Amino acid sequence: MAVRGDVQIVIIGSGISGISAACKLVNAGFQNVRILEATSRSGGRIKTAKLGNNIAEIGASYIHGPSEENPLFGLAQDYGLLDPEAASPENQAMDIDERPPWVPNFFSSSGQRLNAEEMNPALELYNELMDDTVPLGNVKESPWPSVGHFLRSEARKRAAERWRDKDITTQEQLLCAVSAMLKGECCASATHTMENIDLMGFCMYKSLPGLDCTFPGGFEGLVKNLMLELPADLVSYNRPVRCVHWNNTQSRVKAVTVECDDGERIAADHVIVTVPLGYLKKNHSTMFSPPLPAHKLNSVHKLGFGTCNKVFVEFESPWWDDGCEIIYLVWNDEKDIVDQVSDIKKSWIRKMSTFTVLKGSDGHVLCGWIAGHEAEHMETLTEQQLKHSVTGLFRTFTGDSSITPKRILRTQWFSDPWTCGSYCYPAIGCSAKDLENMMEPLPTSESQSQALQVLFAGEATHPFFYSTVHGALLTGRREADRLINHYSSFSSRRQPYSERTNKRT
């Protein structure tokens, strides 16, 4: 009978899901756990950079729903990584559905600042529509094919009813502002257009209470702290895995062989795969031998995985209000409520309609959000081209032809060969079944000694916290628990659950 000390476990990927799985397994007494990571660092889509003296999060920036139920919030608090304000009971109690009540400024493409009070009805209408998607998750047959269809048609309808007493210019401006918000929404779902998002699928996502907060010292501080809990040599860096050979049926051979890109072959009893869905979509055919079963593969194809990028822009001095937290750029020819541009090469920059003001930055830094094919195109530009376009954008909206960004930094998640995009979304036709298929271990039915050869964790395997850090973290723990329970069920007398053996910190 296997003893935990002998069990060989390989984890593919050193993002938050892989690290969380390793922590749990090591603490439960498994001594042969290793992580193979393609790149030279841990953290994956948690990655902190600097722009001048300011923190710039290349990947995740917010703890979504920082409150008691959120395990990420718990860890961040334990490690002392949060501002006291972020951890306050008032902040934890705020139920805002991940839509922080940020103080907005609006600028128009005619080069004028718009009166925030006058634009407020657009924000109100938009938030109301988002709230109204929630009950639609329970209807049997939705009259709208997608979240985008719902938002656009309802926005037009309600706007016509309630804004009819306003003058036509104001009405049109409000509709244009709704376009800016819809483009911003594409970033939250990492999608090209909200018309790609399944309305019922959208409602699978659960938000937690709490006012979204950031890590003042950078998100990567969390990863650094977690790594200190693990033996120093547990992660092998620059070790891409090429193929997972499973279902080895010869006796006295481990069930799985992991083949690295450098040719090394590592025998394992269990492998936890945490590679991003974007990578899996591209590489599944060479990554598994035998191939993934058809129903799992079908879900890999069906679930969406898209791009959301950020463009950090630093200015000599702010041209927005003191206390402003978000800037909407309102194009005055977008009253039809649009979230995609017609000519990507020429006008991709229109997609970048919302800028958040970085808190605690000693410079004056904005973070522009851009999603979809426009974001993918942005990645291909040279620094010069990007600077030229971004400078033009701010000159247009401020009406100040001398305004010049001091520094610019962009993310390029679509071109990242180990991620191939940003995070997953419920594409049209997706259901809870697809996320279930994603997390189902291989083989799907087998005798116990052959069970749990390949397990799956990562952001895109969580049934309702997909696309988040806390979701990814929970999936790593879930798969570790699956193995812990497996061994507890038939060798609990030999190996006490609480054994902590190789903690070397």
Ligand X SMILES: *[C@@H]1O[C@H](CO)[C@@H](O)[C@H](O)[C@H]1NC(C)=O
Ligand Y SMILES: Cc1cc2nc3c(=O)[nH]c(=O)nc-3n(C[C@H](O)[C@H](O)[C@H](O)COP(=O)(O)OP(=O)(O)OC[C@H]3O[C@@H](n4cnc5c(N)ncnc54)[C@H](O)[C@@H]3O)c2cc1C
282, 387, 395, 486: which one binds ligand X (CB under 6 A): 282
Minimum CB–partner distance for residue 432 and ligand X (Å): 25
| Residue 337 near residue 178, CB atoms below 8 Å | yes
- Name every residue whose Cβ is closer than 8 Å to that of residue 139 and which is 6 or more positions away in sequence: 200
In the chain, the amino acid numbered 243 is C
In the region spanning residues 296 to 325, those forming contacts with ligand X, defined by CB under 6 A, are none
Binding-site partner at residue 12 among ligand Y, ligand X, none, CB < 5 to 8 Å by type:
ligand Y
C-alpha span between 255 and 443 (Å, rounded):
11
Adjacent-strand bridge partners of 259: 243, 265
88, 115, 153, 286: which one binds ligand X (CB under 6 A): 286
| Residue 126 near residue 147, CB atoms below 8 Å | no
- Contact range with ligand X by CB under 6 A, out of 14-22, 137-145, 241-249, 301-309: 241-249
Adjacent-strand bridge partners of 312: 367, 409
Binding-site partner at residue 274 among ligand Y, ligand X, none, CB < 5 to 8 Å by type:
ligand Y
Minimum CB–partner distance for residue 261 and ligand X (Å): 5
| Residue 76 near residue 63, CB atoms below 8 Å | yes
From residue 344, give the alpha-carbon distance in Å to each of 22, 154, 376, 382, 429. 43, 27, 10, 16, 27
Minimum CB–partner distance for residue 319 and ligand Y (Å): 25
Give the residue with the Cβ less far from ligand Y, 18 or 121. Answer: 18
In the region spanning residues 329 to 388, those forming contacts with ligand X, defined by CB under 6 A, are none
Binding-site partner at residue 107 among ligand Y, ligand X, none, CB < 5 to 8 Å by type:
none
**Cα distance between the two ends of the chain:** 30
Minimum CB–partner distance for residue 289 and ligand X (Å): 9
Give the residue with the Cβ less far from ligand Y, 21 or 349. Answer: 21
Q: If binding is defined by CB under 6 A, does position 283 make contact with ligand X?
A: yes
Nearest 5 degrees, angle CA 203-CA 207-CA 210? 160
Where do contacts with ligand Y occur on this chain (CB under 6 A)? 12-18, 36-39, 44-46, 59-62, 64, 240-241, 274-276, 279, 308, 310, 411, 413, 418-419, 422-423, 458-459, 467-469, 472
Adjacent-strand bridge partners of 427: 197
| Residue 327 near residue 357, CB atoms below 8 Å | yes
In the region spanning residues 243 to 272, those forming contacts with ligand X, defined by CB under 6 A, are 247, 249, 261
From residue 394, give the alpha-carbon distance in Å to each of 42, 181, 290, 314, 320. 36, 18, 53, 12, 11
Give the residue with the Cβ less far from ligand X, 447 or 505. Answer: 447
Q: 265: part of which helix (H) or strand (E)? A: strand 265-268
Q: Which residues bind ligand X (CB under 6 A)?
A: 240, 242, 247, 249, 261, 282-283, 286, 290
